[in-house]
Amino acid sequence: MFDPQYSMFLYNEEQRYYWFNCDSIESPIKFELVGIILGLAIYNGVILDVHFPLVVYKKLMNQKPDIEDFVYIDPD
C-alpha cells in the first residue's frame, strides 16, 4: 500500500512520514480501504511501521488542526 510505485502516498525522507498523494489516480474507496486495514491492525494490536504527521491523528480524534501542524508537513 505504501510502495512508491502505487503512488497513493508520498514519503518525506527528511521528516520520515507518509502523506497523501494529491496526484494519485486511485479512487477514494481505495484510501478508505487503507484506513480500514490500518484500523484493523490497531484493533488487533499489530504494530505497523507507518508514520503520519500529527495533523492526521488530530483529524482522526476530531480535534481542529492548527497552522503549526501544517508547517510540520511543508515548512515552505
Q: What domains can you pick out in the chain, each with its CATH number? A: 9-73 (3.90.1750.10)
pLDDT computed for residue 1 by the predictor: 79
pLDDT single digits (tens) 16-30 = 889 888 888 888 999
Helices (H), 6-66: 28-43, 54-60
CA dihedral 30, 41, 43, 39 (to 10 degrees): -20
The rounded mean pLDDT for the chain is 87
